[in-house]
Structure 1
Amino acid sequence: MPARLQVKPDDCSPLGQLILQYLEEQCISMNRLAELSGIPQPRLRGACFKGTCPTPETLRKLARIIGKHHLELYTLAYEGRIEKIPEDANNDSLDLLMRELFEVAREAGLVAPKKRPSKAKIRKALMELGFHAEDEDCA
């Protein structure tokens, strides 16, 4: 059983909360996760807290170990720094959409493409999902 954590969930960013959840689920210590990921323990611990800026390399190393895509970790790490959607907007925020996309991809056994798709392919996929031009009537 891992040692009692000194990092409290209330002090953590969404990324930090995910890290704490992973430690608990795997019954490993922060030191062990740091060792497995190749991230110095102080840097890993620091990445847990609100207001911190983990490097892309830290996120990539961590993602490999915990089985998530590094862009998913990036959205968690920088969630507080992304401009907030107005309160009168519905739940179609970019953050929620990105999480849903990664969750569906993971459940389907899909991995992110190695090369960015063209804008035409992205547009076609979005239209197949029900997106439409603002001036078009909703059906």
Structure 2
Amino acid sequence: MPAKLQVKPDDCSPLGQFVLQYLEEQGISMNRLADLSGVPQPRLRGACFKGTCPTPETLRKLARVMGKRHLELYTLAYQGRIDHLPQDAADSSLDLLMQDLLETAQELGLKAPKVRPSRAKICRALLELGFWEEKDEGVKQTKL
């Protein structure tokens, strides 16, 4: 049985909560997950807290061990941050998001579609990634 965690769920980002749940389900310690993933334990622990920015490499290593796609962990790690961009945010913010999507597609061996996906398909994909509709002056509503 793993040692009691010193990281509390209330202190964690959605990624951190997912990691804690994984540790509990697998019955392993954070040290063991760090060993399996090749992520130093202090970096893994730090990636779990609210307000942290784990590197894409950390997310890729964790995803491999946890049996997830790194984009799923990326979505958890950065959940809620895209909606905080100002309306006049530099195009570079969106460029970075697109770059990560394209890099992930390349890692998975996926090729770009020959025909542009319909708006409905794009909407479904965005919802699966964790995007949500904002209503009533910024109050979060249930996910679409």
Aligned match of 2:109 in 105, 114, 129?
Answer: 114
Change (3 A) 1:45 1:119: farther
SS in 2 for 1:122: coil
Corresponding residue of 2:43:
43
Larger radius of gyration: 1
For these two proteins, the number of residue pairs brought into alignment is: 101
Distance 1:126 1:75 in 2: 19
Corresponding residue of 2:88:
none
Question: Deviation at 1:45?
Answer: 0.2
TM-score (normalised: structure 2): 0.64
Distance 2:119 2:75 in 1: 24
Matches within 5 A, 1:32-111: 32-83=32-83
Distance 1:124 1:16 in 2: 32
TM-score (normalised: structure 1): 0.66
Write out the 4+ residue segments of structure 1 that deviate beyond 6 Å after TM superposition.
Answer: none
Change (3 A) 1:17 1:125: same
Q: Unpaired segments of 5 or more residues in structure 2?
A: 85-106, 125-144
Change (3 A) 1:113 1:39: closer
Q: 1:7-65: per-residue Cα shift (whole Å, max 9, x none)?
A: 00000000000000000000100000000000000000000000000000000000000
Q: Unpaired segments of 5 or more residues in structure 1?
A: 85-111, 130-139
Distance 1:77 1:17 in 2: 10
Cα root mean square deviation, aligned: 2.2
